[in-house]
A and B are shown apart, each in its own frame.
Chain A
Amino acid sequence: MKIKDYINKQVSIAPLVVFRIIFGIMMASSAIRFWANGWIDTQFIQPTHFFHYYGFSWVTPLDSTGMYVVFSVMILSALAIAFGAFYRFSALVYFLTFTYVELLDVTNYLNHYYFVSLMAFIMIFLPAHRRFSYDVYRNPETFRSTVSAWTIDAIKLQLSIVYFYAGIAKLNTDWLFNAQPLRLWLASRTDLFLIGPLLKYTWVAFVFSWVGCVYDLVIPFFLVNKKTRIYAYIAVVVFHVVTSILFPIGMFPYIMILSTLIFFSSDFHEKIIIALGRFFSSENLAIEVKRGRINSIPQQLIRLGFALFFIFQLIFPFRYAFYKDNLFWTEQGFRFSWRVMLIEKSGSATFYVVNPDTNRKIEINNSDYLTPLQEKMMATQPDLILQYAQIIKEAFEKKGFENPAVYVDAYVTLNGRSSQQYIDPSVDLTKLKDTFASKNWILPFKG
């Protein structure tokens, strides 16, 4: 039986080991960069209110010291992953600390962070520490030179999903036929050295849009194919270097450039390990052990878990099909779907509180409650507008006003269009609850 053959197929562990090292180092640098930019303070300590992911309102930030401790633990565990030290524990700790931080405030959401969370989760279950690691150094009988092929393919599949789904998401009229939002974004970079003068042309935005879309859709297939791999990888490098020059996307381009090395052959990774091995005299490359230690979790359970995980990954991004109106406008089903760099959206939302007994109405100064980043994100996302109304309501109830009503006058602009009114201004937001049902209080998109 084919599936059974596949599941039992053994391949060199080398790609998995190299990926572990890359992942650990990149994640540690990413967290250090976050710290160095002062973002722990601005994103988790300064805000007085936080926006929660649906169902995760119980995740709350620690105090200042606590947050720095969490980041320290995150950095240490990422380094431990790189070194293969106490691997499963470290991977679990990294996954938990990273995901905890991400769950604190939805206004920080980025597809990249979601990707990291998923990858960290996958890593917990892969035997990436069975060679060239502190764990093997400590405990030589855990050494393995081969692993099941699916453990490496799981990483390839996750990477492929990110690309391919990002490509599908680009198949929309704004992207393909209006070259938006790239047209707006590129036009603001015309003073850029060398390529700047080109960016002012509309046709350049069209070329970028189409090439970007085709790139995302085909790159996984060309990376898998041995014949085209090297060209595909050159494309990966060029593509991500260009995006990192043009857009403020932080570490992500470099994470992708290095992660996609996983598609290369085991010989290639073998060479990397040998090259790295020169720095670590203690690594005994010749070590051979007949039998790996039995895994604490039954392999079948892990395989079943992976199957379910990927089925979910393949289906979940399409949930937007259940909602009416324009996805970019309502953002219902937008997150966790690899919709990367698809919209230029900006909003201005004025909230009003009305005392129902006296009909007195006052305006809210958003900066009294939110950081500038939170305010910007909130103004264009309906579920966050609702959460903010709740924050205001609670603040006024604390002052002793019973049942204050909260209304919003919100205007949003999408991909170069004029601003349109976003939320029904006659709806008392405190009477609404965020659910998975269609939000009929979002005004229809006029196009």
Chain B
Amino acid sequence: MKKINLIVFIAFLATFFSCETDSNVSVNFSQEEMLSNYANNLIVPAFETYKASTNSLKEKIAAFTASPSEETLNATQEALKVSYTAWSKVNAYQFGPAMGASLLSNSNTFPTKYTDIESNIVANNWNLTSITANNKKGLPAIDYLLSNQESAAIVTAFSDENRKRYLTECVADLDNRANSVYELWVNGYAAEFSANTGNDPSSALSFIVNEYNKAYERCKNQRVGYPLAKFSSDLTPQVSPMSVESYYNQASLSLLVSNIESLENIFKGKGENDGEGLADYLDAYYESGASEKDLTAEILNQFDVIKSKLDACNDPFSDHISNNDQVVNDLYDELTKLVVLIKSDMSSVLSVKITYQDSDGD
């Protein structure tokens, strides 16, 4: 035993001598406080707004189908924009209740398969609950149905009862899912989430960081990369302007901006109030010396660069895409640079594995 004591003693001594300068520094941060900020200040309000927007969209659509006119149509189009914007605020929270409800794939799979929508309506035969229906419903399908041609022509088209019923079923499905996810968050999940500290694959931090990365990559890939043919599978890239988000409503750029702003605010922990977020967590690591660089500053700086590139774009975004403009290619390059910072650097500092797959470590 003496030997053990001696060795342990030497180890302690060596420790204190080797790191005199910074051994009392600490990472001053409460994960629980941050998680509670995310739940109560960002996520629940975001789902509440989204749910309210789909409720309203449903009402406007009911009014429109009851008496189709350019006026009632306009009201639905405005309501749809509100819902789309509200979606951009919940986009990054596709875990927990949203994952259980497959909220993302049921609500916003784009581009929508409009040819199938049309043939379904003509055949008066569809099943929106089938898993193959994801690209024929949700926000993109509603976007198509409400804005695919001139207003007058749409109003005329909606004299068709099948078309009315298709639209009504789409919005009902969208609204139901929005409501149920919101209900689950307020009735228990928010509290469960706030208390789920740690950094293993089933921790709240892991959910936030993983979904943050996924949402960011969705932004980069689906909203810009795929339309620009960056991922074309056949090595003969053909731009595809129709695959932008909200193509028919031409709201793509404002939605992209809203998505990026939302991601920046999530990083900061900024909802209705500014609270503890990933940025503050990284700061705590940086100040303690556990991580070497001021990652928060670098990430926020890159967000600024991206926003300045977004400023150089204008509506309709799909025109930039069809022209394969340098400005949108530049935007894409800057979007790519942020991936390294959030996927590699941030996840490493926070010791979160970028994977939902639970597994043992060494």
Contact = CB atoms under 8 A, between A and B. Distances in A.
A binds B: yes
B248 to A, nearest CB: 25
Q: Is the interface of B mostly helix, strand, loop or mixed?
A: loop
A201 B340 contact: no
Nearest to A353: B235
Contacts of B345: 346, 413, 418-419
Contact of A188 (B3, B350, B357): B350
A112 B229 CA distance: 44
A189 B31 CA distance: 9
A340 interface: yes
A285 interface: no
Contacts of B12: 207, 210
A373 B355 contact: yes
A31 interface: no
Report the contact-size class of chain A (Cβ under 8 Å from the partner).
35 or more
Interface in A395-419: 396, 399, 401, 404, 411-413, 416-419
B137 interface: no
Contacts of B347: 346
B7 A214 contact: yes
Given A206-B15, A360-B235, A365 B221 contact: yes
Contacts of B121: none
Interface string B214-246: 000000010001000111111111000000000
Contact of A192 (B23, B29, B198, B341): B198
B337 to A, nearest CB: 10
Contacts, number: 201
A202 B24 contact: yes
A348 B348 contact: no
Interface in A223-270: 228, 231-232, 235, 247-252
Given A364-B231, A372-B354, A401-B235, A110 B360 contact: yes
A231 B2 CA distance: 11
The CB with the most chain B CB atoms within 10 A, among A179, A210, A218, A231, is that of A210
A111 interface: yes
Contacts of A150: none
Given A360-B237, A399-B233, A249 B349 contact: no
The CB with the most chain B CB atoms within 10 A, among A111, A200, A205, A340, is that of A200
Interface in A359-399: 360, 362-365, 371-373, 375-376, 379, 396, 399
Contact of B348 (A205, A350, A416): A416
Q: Is the interface of A mostly helix, strand, loop or mixed?
A: mixed
A228 B7 CA distance: 14
Contacts of A205: 290
B168 to A, nearest CB: 35
A169 B69 CA distance: 75
Given A188-B198, A214-B7, A202 B26 contact: yes
A355 B235 CA distance: 6
Contacts of A235: 4
Nearest to A211: B11
Contacts of B229: 362
Contact of B15 (A180, A191, A203, A365): A203
Interface of B: 1, 3-4, 7-8, 11-12, 14-16, 18-19, 22-32, 197-201, 205, 221, 225, 229-237, 284-285, 288-293, 336, 339-341, 343-345, 347-362
